A and B are shown apart, each in its own frame.
Chain A
Amino acid sequence: MSMVIPFGPQHPVLPEPIQLRLSLQEERVTSALPVLGYIHRGLEKLAEEKDFQQDAYLVERVCGICSFIHSMCYCQGIEELMDLKVPPRAQYLRVVWSELHRMHSHLLATGLLADAFGFENLFMQLWRTREHVMDAMEYTTGARIMLGSCCIGGVRKDINEEQKKFVLDKLNTVEKDLKVLLPVLLEDYSVKKRLVGIGMLDQLTARERGAVGPTARGSGLAMDHRMTGYCAYGELGFEPVVENGCDSYARTQVRAGELLQSIDLVRRALDRLPDSELKVPFKGNPPAGEVVIRAEQPRGEVFYFLKSSGKDKLDRLRVRTPTFANLSPLLAMLTGCTLPDVAVIILSVDPCVSCTER
């Protein structure tokens, strides 16, 4: 007997409202249809009403998890349009805050995944570790999530010696915690039972359906925008974390690997922090023109399209967020799985729905 079950918009495992209409044949999902639009806020339209400097704060609020990287990507776009050269210290500080954001996002995502397969203890331990990263962000910028430290032409805040020491101390604590928690996440028998072989997405399908971020890298695609060396990633020597398992476990492995890699990148960036100004001054509005700019977020590649006509307000701002790109691969993963695995599969791609709907 076939039937349709609405999964969401309100469901205990979903952090944000999204509905998936699952067609079931007995216990197996035969097809899934996403229904979006529960938290559309019209941010793209609002961005056309504000001036281009205010938009840097606005785009930060597109997402509550990877906020800094949104504003950084937008600022890079305007800088390219205005032909500004960001000072090296600002580039390094942008890397520091981006990687701190990636760490807290991955800890949140793996925590929610642990909650989805019923491991409440691991969920709380991972979120406890996340607090250390949040403290590091709060001490360096003055806010926990909406850092507001990125502006056009550079950064608004500096990291002094005392703050540097505090961040490094916090990183040591996080690393110590992860040494205990990551083996639980990756080696425990019961966890593996829920993740290995669940939500298969082979390399070809991942490429065809345009998967990005850890979803693509878990399927053996070495796709990471940081490889292009934007900001200071080129000088810091970046290698993507790639796994070939193609299942939910491989995606979790990628996130675990990136957590440790981010700690390493922040340490290296703080160690090599060059002395220079924090931002370049500029005058006037961005010249008429269009620009497409990308950056790597914790969930994958974000894409900004900016169109200016030389006025203080932009003509058009378009955001393509990573979860939007990952929706199509998610539907491919859901086809053929059993109903109890749906929650685990959805959280293994780490969906950020308010990002997607803007």
Chain B
Amino acid sequence: MKLFTIFKDIVRNTFSKPYTRNYPTEIRPSFEGERGKLIIEGEKCIYCGICARKCPSNALVVTKKPDQSWQFERYRCILCAACVEACPKKCLHMVSRLDERG
């Protein structure tokens, strides 16, 4: 019969520094290649619409005529990066959620 098996761990945790962060003031840096949000380099876009066809959640709407437009509904995006892979001009990018662009 074993009792107080976690006692050693409690002692270790009591005398070690806190494992958690003070979140709003101290933010964990994100990993390289994190899929946090989608951004576009508008000047490179040729409005071909491949990204909109590949998007599984219909978050993108691209029109060529009469006006060229690329619309993106951020709340529908599931951050799968299917559009980024499909883009022939490589103008779409997935960046970290902490990135200031977009």
Q: A residues near B, CB below 8 A?
A: 50, 53-55, 57-58, 61, 121-122, 125, 128, 135, 138-139, 142-143, 146, 148, 156, 180-181, 183-184, 187-190
CA distance A138 to B2 in the complex (A): 38
12 other A-B residue contacts (CB within 8 Å) besides A139-B31, A146-B80, A188-B3? A53-B54, A55-B56, A57-B56, A58-B56, A121-B6, A125-B9, A142-B31, A143-B35, A146-B79, A180-B8, A183-B5, A189-B3
Residues on B with C-beta less than 8 A from A180 are: 8-9
CB atoms of B34 and A148 under 8 A apart = no
Give the one of A54, A156, A190 with max B CB within 10 A: A54
Q: Pick the contact of B1 from A143, A181, A189 — CB < 8 Å?
A: A189
CB atoms of B2 and A188 under 8 A apart = yes
CB-nearest residue of chain A to B56: A54
Residues on B with C-beta less than 8 A from A143 are: 34-35, 79
B100 within 8 A of A: no
Q: Known contacts A142-B94, A146-B78, A146-B79; decide if A184 and B5 are in contact (CB<8 Å).
A: yes
Nearest-Cβ distance from residue A151 to partner chain B, whole angstroms: 9
Q: Known contacts A188-B2, A188-B3, A189-B2; decide if A57 and B82 are in contact (CB<8 Å).
A: yes
Q: Pick the contact of B80 from A50, A57, A135 — CB < 8 Å?
A: A57
Q: B residues near A, CB below 8 A?
A: 1-3, 5-6, 8-10, 19, 31-35, 54-56, 78-82, 85, 94
Q: Pick the contact of A187 from B5, B19, B56, B85 — CB < 8 Å?
A: B5
CA distance A122 to B10 in the complex (A): 10
Closest 10 CB pairs of A and B: A54-B56, A142-B35, A57-B56, A188-B5, A184-B5, A139-B31, A148-B80, A57-B80, A184-B6, A142-B33
Residues on B with C-beta less than 8 A from A156 are: 85
What are 27 A-B residue pairs whose CB atoms fall within 8 Å in the complex? A53-B54, A53-B82, A54-B82, A58-B56, A121-B6, A125-B6, A135-B31, A139-B31, A139-B33, A142-B31, A142-B35, A142-B81, A143-B34, A146-B78, A146-B80, A180-B8, A180-B9, A183-B2, A183-B5, A184-B6, A187-B5, A188-B2, A188-B3, A188-B5, A189-B1, A189-B2, A190-B3
CB-nearest residue of chain A to B7: A184
CA distance A50 to B85 in the complex (A): 18
Residues on B with C-beta less than 8 A from A188 are: 2-3, 5-6
CB atoms of A187 and B2 under 8 A apart = yes
CA distance A135 to B31 in the complex (A): 9
CB atoms of B34 and A142 under 8 A apart = yes
CA distance A181 to B8 in the complex (A): 11
CB-nearest residue of chain B to A46: B56
CB-nearest residue of chain B to A162: B32
CA distance A130 to B78 in the complex (A): 23
CA distance A37 to B67 in the complex (A): 45
